[in-house]
Every structure is written in C-alpha cells, then in structure tokens.
C-alpha cells in the first residue's frame, strides 16, 4: 500500500501535498510506517525537482543593467522620490524584472551611491566647531550650582 501511494508521479508541489495528506490519512495510526512513507515521498520529490532544474543558469540580460542605470539617473543625490520609485518598478516589470528584485536593485544602487555621497555641510560645520560642547557643559555647571545652592540653604536654615 505504501509503494502505491509513493509510486505516483510527483510533478508540482500540489501533488506532493496531496499525496502526503493521503499518506497521513491512511497511515495515521502507525507512526513508524507513516514516517517511512513520508520520508520516501520526500526523497522522490527531491529527485524529481533536481531533474527539473536546468543545468545551465542563463546570464542576466541587459534589462537588469539598464534598470540599474535608470535607477542611478533617477536618484536626486541620496534621495529617490516615492513617485519616481513607483515609475521605476513599473519599468522593471515591463523589462521582466519582478517587483521584489526591482526593490533589491534599487536598494543596491542606493547603497552604492550612498557610500560615495558628500558630507552634509550643516553637520560638518557644527561638528568641527570648537564651541560644540559649550552648551552641554554650561547646562551641567548651572545644574550643579543649583544643587549646591539648594544644599547650602538646607544646611544653614
């Protein structure tokens, strides 16, 4: 009975699930036989999938490169506006690139361009200023003085 269940041709994952459900239903009271039958079914499904995988994986076409180039030209500095991003994703779908892959390519281009971006002039001037610690130090001194005056007043009253 186990061999007749497993001997069927397993093509899509739907067939695998259907046959596995039948095995579980018919062998539900015998866990050892059920486990062996499911393991044999999984091995057969793996063999079938390995045969279905092409031996040569084709190189990505120029569509990916063209899309990456379009992304880099659409960037406004380190920013890619949402409306432009949506246009790029539609363009990628026309090129045959899935939405997930298009988002990955956009992120890769942003990362590549982000590592070469220039410094923010506001941040660089505030960091290089010799007075950048003046406000925190001044606040700390005022707080300590207030505590000291309060303690002095409590002790001498």
- What would the pLDDT profile of 59-78 be if each residue is shown by its tens digit? 556 788 889 899 989 988 88
- Specify burial of residue 88 (Cβ count, 10 A radius: 0-12, 13-18, 19+): buried
pLDDT band, residue 12 (cuts 50/70/90): low
The beta strand positions in the chain, using DSSP E, are none
**By three-state DSSP, how is residue 29 classified?**
coil
**Ramachandran class of 77: left when φ > 0, alpha when ψ lies in -120 to 50, beta otherwise:** left
Residues 6 or more apart whose Cβ sits within 8 Å of residue 87: 74
pLDDT band, residue 16 (cuts 50/70/90): confident
Per-domain residue ranges of the chain: 2-52, 62-114
Q: Looking at per-residue confidence, does 36 or 127 come out higher?
A: 36
- Specify burial of residue 151 (Cβ count, 10 A radius: 0-12, 13-18, 19+): exposed
- The predicted model gives 8-27 an average pLDDT of 76
pLDDT at 147: 94
pLDDT digits (tens, 9 = 90+) for 95-123: 888 899 999 999 998 888 876 554 555 55
- Whether pLDDT at 56 is above 70: no
How far, CA to CA in Å, does 32 sit from each of 2, 98, 156? 12, 43, 87
pLDDT at 107: 92
């Amino acid at each position: 009975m186990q061999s007749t269940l497993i001997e069927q041709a397993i093509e899509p994952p739907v067939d695998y699930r259907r046959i596995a459900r039948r095995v579980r239903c018919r062998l539900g009271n015998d866990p050892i036989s059920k486990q062996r039958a499911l393991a044999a079914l999984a091995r057969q499904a793996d063999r079938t999938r390995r045969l279905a995988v092409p031996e040569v994986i084709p190189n990505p076409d120029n569509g990916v490169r063209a899309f990456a180039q379009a992304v880099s030209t659409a960037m406004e500095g380190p920013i890619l506006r949402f409306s432009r991003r949506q246009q790029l994703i539609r363009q990628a779908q026309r090129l045959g690139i899935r939405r997930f892959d298009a988002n990955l390519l956009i992120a890769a281009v942003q990362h590549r361009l982000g590592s070469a971006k220039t410094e923010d002039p506001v941040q660089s001037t505030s960091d290089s200023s010799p007075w950048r610690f003046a406000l925190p130090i001044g606040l700390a001194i005022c707080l300590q003085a207030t505590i000291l005056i309060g303690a002095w007043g409590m002790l001498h009253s």
